[in-house]
Every structure is written in C-alpha cells, then in structure tokens.
Chains A and B, each alone.
Chain A
Amino acid sequence: MSVIETHRTAPSPVSRWLDYARRNPATVICCALLLAFLLIAIFAPLLAGDPLKINPALRLKPPSDDAIWGRDHLGRDVFARAIYGTRVSMLVGFSVAILVTLFGVAIGVYAGLSPIGGAVVMRLTDAMMAIPAVLLAIAFASLMNAGLLTVIIAITIPEVPRMVRLVRSVVLGVRQQLHVTAAISIGTSGLPLVWRHILPNTLGPVLVQATYACASAIIASAVLSFLGVGLSPEVPSWGGMMADARQQFRIHPILMLYPGVLLSLLVLAVNILGDRLSDALDQRKSRRSGL
C-alpha cells in the first residue's frame, strides 16, 4: 500500500543462487556431474576395491556383494575398474585442455602480432589440420613408449592448431580496437601490451575452446585405449574396458554399457558446459530469432 512496503531488501546469496539454478538447470546439473566425477577420481581407493586383481575362477561372474557390477573376462572387479577408469579420463581431459591453452595462446598471440610469423604459423596449422587428429594421435602414441604422458602429448599435438587459429583471429580483431591503438601510441609494447590489453580479450573464446578440447581429449583417450594404443592394457580405463568387453559382447553386453555410459555422461557434461559458456559470452547470439 505504502511506498515502504514495496521496498525490497537485497536478495540473500542463497536465494540468488537458487534463482540461478532454477533458470539454468542444465548448467547446474553438469557442474554437479563434473564435480562428482572429480571426487570419484580423487577418492577412488575409498570407493572401490583393487581394480588390477585377476581372479580366473570368478571370470564373468554376475553382480554380487563383493563386485556389484560383476566381473570381467579375467575375473577383475568391473565396478572398481570403472571407478579407477575415471582417473585416466579426467587426467587426460584436463591436462590436454591446459596444455592446449598454454601452447595455443602463446603461438596464437605470436601469430596474431607478427605478420611473417603469422603466415608461417598459418601454413603449418593448415598442414597439421589436414591430418586426421585421431590418426595422428594413434600414430604418435604407438611410436612412443606406452604411458600416460605419451597419451597426453599424442592428443595435445593435433588439438593445438585449432586453438592457435582461434587465438590468432581474436588477436587480429583486438589489435584494431581503439584501446590497443591508444596503448601502442603511448609507448606500450611487448609483454605489457600482450598481458594487459590483448590477453584479457581472448579469455572468453579461449575458455570455450579449452572446454571443447577437454571433451574431445576424453573421447580421444578412450579411442586410444579402445584400439589398444598408448596405455598398457591392465591400467583401468573406460576405453580399455570396452575393448576387453568386445569378446563377450553378444552374451554380456552390460560390460560394454557401464564404461560406455560413464564416458558419454562425462563428455556430455563437459560439452554442455562449453555450450552454456559460449552462449553466455555471446550476447548477439541470443537476440536472433527464427521465422
């Protein structure tokens, strides 16, 4: 009735957060999923038994109290292998995303600022992008010694060119902007110019691209394990579990389903977060309408 009654107090952080969650349920669910996978990866030893212990007497045993998802063709605990398999996927996904960002941004900024260097870098990325990424990764991983580091490097190399091209195109755009011209005209150059004026502008697109790189790295690492390249077969990984399940596929398809669903869920969560991030950063996109 009176003016005083319509005056609202500022919403509390909790209610603001709930409000955000109500408007963006997908984002919240994906963040929760990702957090859950992260916790599973960190606390794997507390959640499951030994993923490596072979027990031929129990091979392909259906689910029971000591192995709730049953046992594989070597009598290993499928649940334990799936839990520990989270580690490889998360580790490869995040390491590749970080490495791709570091190398991609460094090379991309250089290519955007140096005309000659930029041309050379562009031709090199053209050549690298002409080679199918998965082929390049399996070739590289098979030629090096087996191990997690090899897998990470093998997946990072073909992912870098895309980030380089993205960063370069952003830098080329930013360089035309008034604040950069102004900074250059008052004598800013070198690292301060890049650090204060150029890098902050690349942050959004780079973050989105890093998210997608993370998702495709998780798939690529599963492909490598599935084809039996890179990691030794006893290391528990989702791709490796699917490769193990191939022989029993017609009789025990469920062995294929567990790692397949976990893998798809993780990649889906990362990709959806990438999309939400991209939408949030691109204001123009949301204003477009259909017919």
Chain B
Amino acid sequence: MFAYLAGRVLSAIPILVLVAVFIFSLVNLTPGDPALLIAGDNATPAQVEQIRERLHLNEPLPTRFAIWAGNALRLDLGVSIYSGQPVTRLIAQRIEPTFVLATVTIIITVLMAVPLGVIASWKANSWIDRAIMGFAVLGFSVPVFVIGYLLAYVFSVNLKWFPVQGYSPLADGPLDTLRSVTLPAVALAMVFAALIARVTRAAMLEVLNENHIRTARAKGLPTSRILIVHALKNAGVPVVTVIGIGLATLVGGVVVTESVFNIPGIGRLTVDAITRRDYPIVQGVILFFAAVLIIINVLVDMSYALLDPRVKG
C-alpha cells in the first residue's frame, strides 16, 4: 500500500518537470523581446540592456531555465511586467473566487451527474435513458459562454434572482458569495456533468451485466441497494478517474466563465496577462494550474486504493 502511494507521488515529479520545460520553451521560443516590452517606447538602449541584465535575458536558454525553475521551486515566479508585483502574490490574491467557483461547480456536477448516470444505466435503452443521454450530448456541445449568457439573461436580467456579474468575497458573507457564483457554477457544471453522466452510465452498464449483480437480484435484494451498494461502488474507479481528468477541462472553462461573469479570479488574471503579453504571469499561472491538476490526479490515483482493494498489491 505504502509502496503504491509513494510510487504515485514520485511519478508525478518528472511530469511536473516536463510541464515546466514545456511552458518555458513555449514562452521563450516565441518571437518578441520582453526587455523591449518592459522598458516601453521611450527607453534608451542602455536602459533596455539593464533590464536584459536584470532578467538574465543575455544568458543561454538552459541557464535561464535553471534560474526560473530554481526560483519556482522556492515559490518565486518572477514579477509582473505590467504591475511589478510578484506573480505568486497576484495568484494568491485571485485564488479565492476561482477556488470557490471550482468547488461549487464540482459539487453541483457530482450531485447532478452521478444520479443521472445511475438512472440512465438502470433504465438502459428506455426513453428515460435516451432523454438523459440526449441532455448530456447537449451539455457538452453548447459552449460554456453560450450557456452562461443564457442563464444570466433568464435568471439575472429578467427574473433578477442573481446578480448579473461580479463576485462577492467570502469575507462579506458566504451567502452572498454563493449567490454570486451559482450561475457561473451551473453553466460550468453543464459541460462537466455531461461528461461524467456518460462515463457513470457506461461504467454502471459494465458492472450491471456481471454475475454478482444477477446473484444479488436472485437473492431478492431491493433494486436501490443493488444499484448503489453493489454496482455504483464497483463503477467508482472510472467515474473518479474521469472527474480527475475532467478537471483540466474545468480549469479551461473557469478561465472563460470568469470572463463572462466578470469574476476577478485566476482565469481573469490569465486572460488580462495574455492580452498585455505579461509573460511571467502567463508562465506562472499555467505552471500553477498544471501543478494543481497533477497533485489532484495523484490524489485520485490514491483513492483507487479505497475504492478497489485489488489496487493495493
């Protein structure tokens, strides 16, 4: 058991290193001189040279990577070109809205998707199944910003149940926070829930056609008990895996949703940084998101051991 967990944690390290190399080359091999960008239009060549020196831009690429990666390990992701603030601090300032939005989205997703998937598999090939699966295809075909504006128009502009845009921090009362993230979270959850409902259905169908389910039926166990205790638990591994993999899609969705609903989270930070070509922020945020996703997927792998005793070996 311990060896399995240790193996999972260790295997994440080379992936993180590769991600760092990848992001670094993406930003540094593309055209454009960051020193000129920082110095502005009125700078003298000497000033530009000074900035190049300060940012180690004259060093060869491998050295620059070593400096950047070394600093990143000490949680120093450089400073923003635009505001001069440390990237780590900018991320820390913006983390709350993004974290709340993502958490509420995952809760809504699981509460919606898993029961729908279970019902669809239980009533497989019936009209209920077809309706749920049709809804699922619709869910991941309608882009999150289309659903977002549709929800905003119906529930905020017309019915006035929710604020149209913006985010209310937790410090001002958690209820207001919940109200401000409900619509964006529902919009985001549609895409995610569609994916998970489909995988839940497929995984459940796989299990429902196994012998032990027939035995359980023959024993006369109630359907609800068979579905939840005997089938869903066995279908858990693929479902949890897809929740983990789907988080990457969720993060992408968060970036878009924060723009639609004007939420000052990390997604907005990224989009603003990209339009200003503030490359230290771009590098830092992508590395941050990738690290979070890798850590979560290691946790997902660890949860297999809880769901499926065979994994321990």
Which residues of A come within 8 Å of B, CB atoms?
A: 123-124, 126-136, 138-140, 142-145, 215, 219, 222-223, 226-229, 242, 249-250, 253, 256, 260-261, 263-264, 267-268, 271-272, 275, 288-291
CB distance from B180 to the nearest CB of A (A): 18
Bound-state CA distance A256–B282 (Å) is 29
A143 touches B30 (CB 8 A): yes
A249 touches B19 (CB 8 A): no
* Chain B residues with CB below 8 A from A249, complex form: 149, 152-153, 157
A268 touches B121 (CB 8 A): no
A264 touches B141 (CB 8 A): yes
Bound-state CA distance A169–B26 (Å) is 28
Where chain A touches its partner, the secondary structure class is helix
Interchain residue pairs A-B with the least CB separation, the first 6: A134-B252, A290-B124, A127-B18, A143-B30, A268-B141, A260-B146
Task: Knowing A126-B15, A130-B15 are in contact, say whether A290-B145 is a contact too (CB < 8 A).
Answer: no
B146 touches A130 (CB 8 A): no
A226 touches B256 (CB 8 A): yes
Can you sample 18 A-B contacts with CB below 8 Å?
A124-B18, A126-B18, A129-B248, A131-B286, A136-B286, A139-B282, A142-B274, A215-B141, A223-B252, A227-B274, A228-B275, A263-B143, A264-B142, A264-B143, A275-B137, A290-B123, A291-B122, A291-B208
Q: A256-B149, A275-B137 are in contact. List 16 more A-B contacts (CB 8 A).
A: A127-B22, A130-B297, A135-B285, A138-B255, A139-B286, A142-B275, A143-B32, A223-B143, A227-B259, A242-B145, A253-B157, A260-B146, A267-B143, A268-B138, A290-B122, A291-B217
Cβ-based interface call for B211 (8 A): no
Task: Knowing A123-B18, A143-B26 are in contact, say whether A130-B248 is a contact too (CB < 8 A).
Answer: yes
Tell me the B282-301 residues at the A interface (CB within 8 Å). Answer: 282, 285-286, 289-290, 293-294, 297
B252 touches A133 (CB 8 A): yes
Q: How many residues of B contact A (CB 8 A)?
A: 65
A223 touches B256 (CB 8 A): yes
Where chain B touches its partner, the secondary structure class is helix
CB distance from B47 to the nearest CB of A (A): 24
Cβ-based interface call for B125 (8 A): yes
Bound-state CA distance A259–B124 (Å) is 35
* Chain A residues with CB below 8 A from B141, complex form: 215, 264, 267-268, 271
Contact of B252 among A132, A264, A271 (CB under 8 A): A132
CB distance from A238 to the nearest CB of B (A): 9
B125 touches A289 (CB 8 A): yes
* Chain A residues with CB below 8 A from B259, complex form: 226-227
Task: Knowing A124-B18, A253-B153 are in contact, say whether A131-B138 is a contact too (CB < 8 A).
Answer: no
Cβ-based interface call for B150 (8 A): yes
* Chain A residues with CB below 8 A from B138, complex form: 268
CB distance from A134 to the nearest CB of B (A): 3
* Chain A residues with CB below 8 A from B51, complex form: none
Task: Knowing A143-B32, A219-B143 are in contact, say whether A268-B26 is a contact too (CB < 8 A).
Answer: no
B277 touches A260 (CB 8 A): no
B19 touches A131 (CB 8 A): yes
Bound-state CA distance A226–B144 (Å) is 11
B19 touches A222 (CB 8 A): no
Contact of B249 among A123, A132, A242, A291 (CB under 8 A): A132
Cβ-based interface call for B251 (8 A): yes
* Chain B residues with CB below 8 A from A140, complex form: 26, 30
CB distance from B23 to the nearest CB of A (A): 7
B140 touches A131 (CB 8 A): no
CB distance from B108 to the nearest CB of A (A): 20
B289 touches A132 (CB 8 A): yes
CB distance from B59 to the nearest CB of A (A): 21
Bound-state CA distance A142–B146 (Å) is 23
CB distance from A23 to the nearest CB of B (A): 14
Cβ-based interface call for B80 (8 A): no
